[in-house]
Chain A
Amino acid sequence: MPEALCFSNKVEGWCDLDTLDKLSILAEGAKYDVSCVSSGSSRKNTPGGLGSGYAAGFCHSFTTDGRCISLLKVLMSNDCVYDCAYCVNRVSNDFPRATFTPGELVDITINFYRRNYIEGLFLSSAVYKNPNYTMELFIRVLKMLREEYRFNGYIHVKAIPGADNALVEQAGLYADRMSVNIELPSNDSLKLLAPQKNKEKILGPMGFISTKISENKEDIVKYKKKQYFVPAGQSTQVIVGATPHRDINILKLSEALYKRYKLKRVFYSAYIPVSNHPALPAIEKPPLLREHRLYQADWLLRFYGFSADELLSDSRPDLDEQLDPKCDWALRNLHLFPVEVNRCDYETLLRVPGIGVISAKRILTARRVSSLDFDDLRKLGVVLKRAQYFITCKGKYYKGIIMDDAFIRQNLVRENMMQAMKSGNMAEEYRQVSFFSNGYDYGYDYGYGYGYGHGRGHGLAGAGDFGFRGLNIQDRDFRKSLAGIGMNTGMSMNMGMGLVQGPGMDIALNIGGMNGVNMGMITAEEKMKSITGEL
């Protein structure tokens, strides 16, 4: 092992673990922080320095759960004096403890950076000894990186709740981004699960950082050359599913944080049980689909001009699991549609399901030189399967569209699921939701679960689909996938309507068989039994 890695730190008392063990313990402890963003800072390389920022950030690798690895995300220490029930590092948990020395951590960071493993450092920590002591350790690392090694890579550092403002400010002068994790969305839940923390301890530094950032922005305009303070802004994280909060509580909190503290990001982390504290829910799987929906809603707040009140209300406190929040909103506001793509303004375009920020901008550009029809929209990247119900082109509807809530909803739910399955994202969760929703959906949903399970089986999926959409209205792709089994239409009509009774089941199996997916038949049969059994 090279010399730089070997010095043990006698002052801090951890010389019995080697760096490899430490890294593995301290990376393990940091991984539940979902943020790994390296964006927002375009720190330039300085003469003789190492590294440069890039405003959009890079992903250097991906974890096997599909999260981006951009930063060396580690804890300074996992040796905590606090006892927060939801946290692996709580003092009452009996497991190995480790603390990096600043020199060790700096050496790893620099060498990883030189090999292009990482974009920079994400430094978090348990509260080691006390908040100020931990914060001082951070500052030593940051100072060494920035001044001794002239490191210009990205640094994200936590503000430890309860640390002095002066220390937070000092760290902010070296960092690109700072964050304070809220974790639990209300003071009561904090009291219950994180007795040493309270709202003030968390919001205090957040408010302080936010004030400093805006002061710094003014100073930079006024005095031109001045050190930046947290140029990539601050973020926070909220745990989803550890407390009985509804989505509306969480989303309203995020909205307030964006407005009042000018936060750049709020991250949502599906709760993964790390302890069996009596106040925590016993769950088998983290609520990933809920987390996904919250992120979608969060995007709507930040980039699409929506407010939390438009998406949720006290009578509908949770986001729809089957439909993404934008489709859901559009369906509840059908009176606002359709909009004419060639004329309506940017803000209106953004509210159409299937049109995102990029495609909305493309529409604005393209319609300046020629008016657009549906075929053009598809080329611009608009997801017509979703957008078709909400727009007109040159005054015309898309072929075969019926402006009927139930009809549109069914098709959108299906489209949502197809999308998720194609991308490999959330497939499992969708499947669960779709299987055990309500009786009316079965014929159709069943088709999908099956289709996904075997990577094909569109035939069956389409068949279920027919049941709801009737014979006349099918989208073209589906007609294609059904080519050759046109005779199914009649039977699938039955399937949609009479699924729960015996005949529907038979037909489903027939169709499966005709597609030659024999494996599927077994699963289909079992699944069908479990569904009919439930009923």
Chain B
Amino acid sequence: MLCYTYDGSFDGLLTAIYEVYYRGEDPKKIKSIEGLEQNFLDTYVHISTDYEKSRKVYNSIEKKISRDALENVYCVYLADREEDKDTYIYEYLKFGWKAGSKVDSYLSDDRVLRVHAIKRRVDREVHRMMGFTRFSLLEGNVYYAPIEPDNNILPLLAPHFSKRLPDQNWVIHDLGRRIAAVYNTREWMIADAALLGEIPRTDAREETYRQLWKQFYSNVSIRERFNPSLHRRLLPERYWRHLTEKW
């Protein structure tokens, strides 16, 4: 079975899709080369990223399908733990170029359904993390937030926090992916976390507000309504590690 591989970047993925049409081949799968376990039965063709080609596909999605479709594709691309997401994107786009702007109306078509389902999952996590991200003030006047999301959502979180906390320096550090969004009160960028160097110690004032927050948290629960299973469903345990109020 023919399988295209790409370097893991969004441009790489779009280039691979370009090549499908350019070469007139019909690969059954597209996969990122990162962490790929090669299968004995499949034939792998690596596509090297070409910005021009990627741009063409990008524009074509936007013009010939829709802006929404482009957003769907990008969000699904961010779901990097979803093993077959690239193939899903490919199938969705193939159908999209046939169906045109109406593609997202085919809500019961599996090719559309899969993409929508993953998109919803990514959206939900972005929304959650916009609430669950916790900053600590470090020495040197930087607010630092470690996160470990299921999806690669930094590119969606950073613009939000740049609008919300525009006058403070902040870093959001995705521990699992070893990347960080860095903001300097003017603009943000995503960089390799190794560039952060050693994380400074927390500021002397930090502990006061942590204490206050924890105190507040423990005071707002109503004992008579205690409902741990509901609590865990709304605030899954995997997020607790970085929630100040759960320390």
Binding site for B on A (CB under 8 A): 1-2, 5, 19-20, 23-24, 27-28, 30-32, 45, 48-52, 54, 56, 58-70, 72-74, 108, 111-112, 114-117, 119, 270, 272, 285-286, 288, 362, 365-366, 368-370, 372, 375-376, 379-380, 423-425, 427
Contacts and interface: CB of A to CB of B under 8 A. Distances in A.
Interface string B126-146: 010011111111000001010
A30 to B, nearest CB: 8
7 nearest interchain CB pairs? Answer: A424-B229, A66-B230, A376-B108, A65-B225, A58-B131, A366-B107, A27-B219
A50 B225 CA distance: 35
B157 to A, nearest CB: 11
A50 B106 contact: no
A362 B117 CA distance: 13
Contacts of B145: 116
B230 A423 contact: yes
Given A27-B216, A31-B219, A58-B130, 16 more contacts: A19-B212, A20-B212, A23-B219, A24-B216, A28-B219, A28-B220, A31-B220, A58-B127, A59-B131, A63-B222, A63-B231, A64-B221, A116-B133, A117-B213, A366-B106, A379-B113
A424 B226 CA distance: 11
A368 B105 contact: yes
A115 B244 contact: yes
Contact of A365 (B107, B133, B161): B107
Interface residues of B, number: 55
Contact of B216 (A32, A65, A72, A119): A72
A366 B116 CA distance: 13
B197 interface: no
A91 B244 CA distance: 35
B59 to A, nearest CB: 25
B74 interface: no
A423 B233 contact: yes
Interface in B146-182: 161, 163-168
Interface of B: 102, 104-108, 113, 127, 130-137, 143, 145, 161, 163-168, 205, 208-209, 211-213, 215-235, 243-245
A288 B52 CA distance: 60
Contact of B108 (A24, A31, A372): A372
Contacts of A362: 107
23 contacts: A23-B215, A23-B219, A45-B164, A49-B167, A58-B131, A60-B131, A61-B245, A63-B220, A63-B221, A64-B221, A64-B227, A65-B222, A66-B227, A67-B222, A70-B131, A73-B220, A114-B165, A115-B136, A116-B134, A288-B225, A366-B108, A369-B102, A424-B232
A115 B164 CA distance: 11
Given A61-B217, A116-B145, A370-B106, A2 B208 contact: yes
B241 to A, nearest CB: 14
A463 B191 CA distance: 58
B165 A61 contact: no
B213 A115 contact: yes
A110 B247 CA distance: 22
B132 A379 contact: no
A45 B159 CA distance: 13
Contacts of B227: 64-66, 424-425
A379 B228 contact: no
Nearest to A112: B213
A24 to B, nearest CB: 5
Contacts of A49: 166-167
